[in-house]
Amino acid sequence: MKRLLLLIAFILAAPLSAQDSLPPAPYAYKQLDDPRQEAEAKALMETLRCLTCQGQSIADSDAPMAGDLRHQVRVRVARGEKPEAIRAWLIERYGEYISFKPEVTSSTWPLFALPALLLLVAVFVFRNKLGKKA
């Protein structure tokens, strides 16, 4: 009976062990010593999505996933990798979704055609609707 109770207690406690008890990666909450590199890393982090949060970048989140990615970005920047190379590497691993900065591709071109179209419309409005004298 006692063993049964113990077993039930363990089963109930199972979700606890699923919590990540690992300490955060070293550079998740630590800045790089070189301020120029840190600024570069920060700028990149602000354009990467925290995949487990909603709408926040990895620079704005306490989520473990965001911490791990901050560590990755800082370590790679410190190693001398270019920010755009790190972005490409992350996109390769996690898909386009991770980057807040859409590139012009076959699936995103309308986003870039839109402002151009709007500029044309604006020019048209001013030339044709307002060009005539009152």
Partner 1 sequence: MIAEFGLAALWLAAALAAMQLVAGALVLRRDEPTLAALVRPAAVVQGLLAALSFGALFLLFVQTDLSVRLVAENSHTAKPMIFKIAGAWSNHEGSMLLWVAVMALAGALIALIEHRLPERTLLATLAAQAFVSLGFYAFLLVSSNPFERLSPAPPEGNGLNPLLQDVAAAYHPTTLYFGYVGLSVAFSFAVGALLTRQVTPDFARAMRPWVLGAWIFLTLGITAGSYWAYYELGWGGWWFWDPVENASLMPWLAATALLHSASVLAARDALRAWTIMLGVVAFSMSMIGTFLVRSGILTSVHAFAVDPERGSFILALLTLYIGSALTLFALRAGTVAEGERFSVTSREGALVVNNVALSAILAIVLVGTLYPLLTEAFGIKVSVGPPYFNPVSALFFLPMLVVLAIGPMLRWRRDSLGRVQNEAVLLGVIALLVLAGVWFNTSIGLLPLLGLALSVAVAVGSVLPLKGRSLRRLPLAVWGMVVAHFGIAVAMFGMSADSAFTKEKLVAATPGETVEVGPWKVTLETVEPVAGPNWTALEGVLVASYKGGKPKQIAPQSREFWSPVQKTSESALLTRWNGQLYAVLGEEIDGGRWQIRLWWKPFVTWIWYGGLLIGFGGFLALLGRVLGDLKRRNLQARIARRRRTAADEEQAA
Which residues here bind partner 1, judged by CB under 8 A? Answer: 23-24, 29-31, 42, 46-47, 49, 54-57, 59-62, 95-102, 107-108, 110-111, 114-115, 118-119, 121-122, 125-126, 129-134
Q: Which is nearer to partner 1, 6 or 62 (CB)?
A: 62
In the complex, minimum distance from the CB of residue 54 to partner 1, in angstroms, rounded to a whole number: 3
* Amino acid letter, residue 91: I
Contact between 91 and 47 (Cβ < 8 Å): no
Torsion sign, CA atoms 47, 52, 56, 58: negative
Contact between 113 and 105 (Cβ < 8 Å): no
In the complex, minimum distance from the CB of residue 57 to partner 1, in angstroms, rounded to a whole number: 7
Q: Which is nearer to partner 1, 80 or 115 (CB)?
A: 115
In the complex, minimum distance from the CB of residue 5 to partner 1, in angstroms, rounded to a whole number: 24
Q: Which is nearer to partner 1, 88 or 121 (CB)?
A: 121
In which element (H, E) is residue 88 found? helix 83-94
Q: Which is nearer to partner 1, 7 or 103 (CB)?
A: 103
Q: Which is nearer to partner 1, 27 or 76 (CB)?
A: 27
Burial tier of 64 (Cβ tally within 10 Å: 0-12, 13-18, 19+) = middle
Contact between 40 and 77 (Cβ < 8 Å): yes
